[in-house]
Amino acid sequence: MNKTGTLLSMRFLAGILISACILPVMLFVYQHIEPSKEELARLSFVIIFCLLLASWFIILRNARRAEEALMEGNHQLLLRTKELEELNGHLEERIKDRTKNLVNLQTQLLQSEKFSAIGHLAAGIAHEINNPIGFINSNLQTLQQYVVHYTRLLGILNKLENALRDKDTHKAAELVASWEKIRTETNFAFIGGDINNLLKESLEGVGKIGRIVSDLRTLASPDRGMIDSVSIEALLESILNIVHNEIKYKAEVKKEYEHPPLIVCNPQKIGQVFVNLLMNAAQAIQTKGLITIRTYTEKDFACIDITDTGCGIPPENTHRIFDPLFTTRPAGSAIGLGLSLSYDIIRKHEGTISFISRLGRGTTFSVKLPLVAPVMNAGFTWRQYERD
C-alpha cells in the first residue's frame, strides 16, 4: 500500500473512532441532564451532530481527492515506466551499435597492423620469390639449348627412318655419319643427367614459391573467424617461411620443438602474433645474433618461447610494452599496435603472453595457449592445419 492510501485509511478510521466515542457520550448526557437544561442540551446535541456530519463530509471529500491523486500518480508512474522502457530500448540499441563499431574498429586495426607487417616484409618476400624464379628462368634457358640438340637428333632419326624405308643405303650411310658427328660433338650423357637436375631444381623452386604464396595468402586474407585444429609447429614453419628474408641477415634460427598436441585456435590471428614476435626479435638484433624458438607442453597449455640475443628492453619501458601506440622505433617506422593486438589476441584465446628481458642480453616472449579451448563446444567446423 502506498503512502496516500495509508493516510486515507488512517483518516477514515479516525472518523469512525471519534463518532463511536462522541455519540454514546452525548446519549448518556442527554438521558441524565436536568429538565431545566434540556433545551440547551438539545441545542448542543444538534451542534455536535452537525459538526460530526461536517467532519464526515470533509473526510469523504479528502478521500475522493486522495483517490484522484492516487490515480493520477499511478498514471504518471505508468507514463514514466513506459518512458524508461523506451529509453532502455534506445540505450540497448546504442550499446549494440557502439559494440559493433568497436568490433569493426578492432578488426580494421588488426588488418592495418597485418598489412603494415606485410608491407614491411614485401621486399623480403619479393626477394624470396625472385630467387627461385631466377634459377627457374636460367634452368629453362639451359633446357631450351638441350632441346635444340635433341631436336637435331630427332630430325636425323626421322630422315634415317625414311631412308631405310626407301632402301637408300647411301643416304642412310650419310645420316649415320651425321649421327656419329653429333654424338661426338655433344655430351648426351651429361645432358641426360643435367636435365634431371634442372627439372628437380625447378620443381623445388616452384614448390617454394607456392608455399610462400599460400602462407602469405593465409596470413593476408580477411579474417572470417575460422577456428581450426592446428599444429603450432606447422604454423610457426609457415610464418618462418614468410619472414625468412627479414631474419636471415640478422640471426640464425634455432628450433627446439618438443611437439605439443594440436590446439584449437584462429590460425590467422595466432600467425599474426608470431609474425609480430619474430619481426621484433629480428629488429632487436643489431648485427648477427640468434633467435631460438622453443615449443613444449606445460600442464594444459601449449607453450611457445621466442628468445633473441638483441638489445633487450629498457626497464622504464617494460610496463608499457603492451600499451596501444607505444613503440621505441623512430616516428613513422611503426604504429605501435603489434604487441598490443598480440596481447588482445592471446587473451581472447584464453591464453597468456609474457616476457623476460635483460638489457643488452636479449628478450624472451612466452606464449601459452590452452590445449582444449572453450570454442570446442561451440559448434564450429574445424579444418586440419598441418604441413606435409
CA-based nearest residue to 243, from 344, 123, 338, 161: 123
- Asked if 387 and 244 sit in the same domain, the reply is yes
C-alpha grid cell, residue 157: 632419326
Are β-strands 362-370 and 352-358 bridged in parallel, bridged antiparallel, or unpaired?
A: antiparallel
Residue 184, in any domain of the structure: no
Q: What is the pLDDT of residue 379?
A: 38
Of 64, 90, 116, the domain-final residue: 90
Distance from the Cα of residue 299 to its chain's centroid: 25
Is the same domain home to 244 and 387?
yes
What values do phi and psi take at 254, rounded to 5? -110, 125
Query: 204 Cβ partners below 8 Å, 6+ apart?
Result: 132
The span from the CA of 334 to the CA of 113, in Å, is 9
CB-CB neighbours of 340 under 10 Å: 20
Q: Considering the entire predicted model, what is its pTM?
A: 0.57
Cα(228)–Cα(226) distance, integer angstroms: 6
CATH number at 322 reads 3.30.565.10
3-state secondary structure the chain: CCHHHHHHHHHHHHHHHHHHHHHHHHHHHHHHCCHHHHHHHHHHHHHHHHHHHHHHHHHHHHHHHHHHHHHHHHHHHHHHHHHHHHHHHHHHHHHHHHHHHHHHHHHHHHHHHHHHHHHHHHHHHHHHHHHHHHHHHHHHHHHHHHHHHHHHHHHHHHHHHHHHHHCCHHHHHHHHHHHHHHHHHCCHHHHHHHHHHHHHHHHHHHHHHHHHHHHHHHHHCCCCCCCEEECHHHHHHHHHHHHHHHHHCCEEEEEEECCCCCEEECHHHHHHHHHHHHHHHHHHCCCCEEEEEEEEEECCEEEEEEEECCCCCCHHHHHHCCCCCCCCCCCCCCCCCHHHHHHHHHHHCCCEEEEEEECCCEEEEEEEEECCCHHHHCCCCCCEECCC
CA 154, CA 188: separation in Å to the nearest integer? 13
Q: Specify if 388 maps to a domain.
A: yes
In order along its 388 residues, the chain shows pLDDT tens digits of 455 555 555 555 555 555 556 556 555 555 555 555 566 666 666 676 677 777 777 777 777 887 788 888 888 888 888 888 888 888 888 888 887 777 666 666 666 666 666 666 666 677 778 888 888 888 899 898 888 888 888 888 888 888 888 888 888 888 888 878 887 777 888 888 888 888 888 888 888 888 777 767 766 665 666 788 889 999 999 899 888 888 888 899 999 999 999 998 888 889 889 988 998 899 889 888 999 999 999 988 999 999 999 988 888 888 888 876 666 655 444 555 678 888 888 988 999 999 999 988 999 999 999 987 544 433 333 343 333 3
The residue from 90, 113, 145 where one domain ends is: 90
Please give the pLDDT value at position 328.
62
Cα–Cα distance list, 133 to 197, 207, 272, 314 (Å): 16, 11, 27, 43
Quick one: which of 328, 282, 271, 342 has its CA closest to 307? 282
Q: What is the pLDDT of residue 330?
A: 52
- Identity at 350, one-letter amino acid code: E
Do residue 229 and residue 375 come from a single domain? yes
Looking at 68, 90, 112, which one is the last position of a domain? Answer: 90
Residue 68 lies in a domain: yes
Tell how strand 228-230 and strand 263-265 pair up: antiparallel
C-alpha 231/C-alpha 221 separation (Å) is 20
Residue 307 belongs to some domain of the structure: yes
Cell of 21: 466515542
**Count of structural domains within the chain:** 2
131 in a domain, yes or no? no
| 15 vs 54: CA distance, rounded Å | 11
- Residue 72: all three cell numbers together: 493520477
Q: Is residue 312 part of a domain?
A: yes
- What's the pLDDT score for residue 329? 58
pLDDT one-digit tens code per residue, 317-352: 888 888 766 666 554 445 556 788 888 889 889 999
Q: Among all chains, which residue has been given the C-alpha cell 599460400?
A: 214
Q: What burial letters (b/e) apply to 112-121, b meaning 16+ CB within 10 Å?
A: ebbeebeebb
Judge whether 132 lies within some domain.
no
- Contacts of residue 173, Cβ cutoff 8 Å, sequence gap at least 6: none
In a domain, 107, yes or no: no
* Domain coverage including residue 259: 223-388
For residue 209, count other CB atoms closer than 10 A to its CB: 17
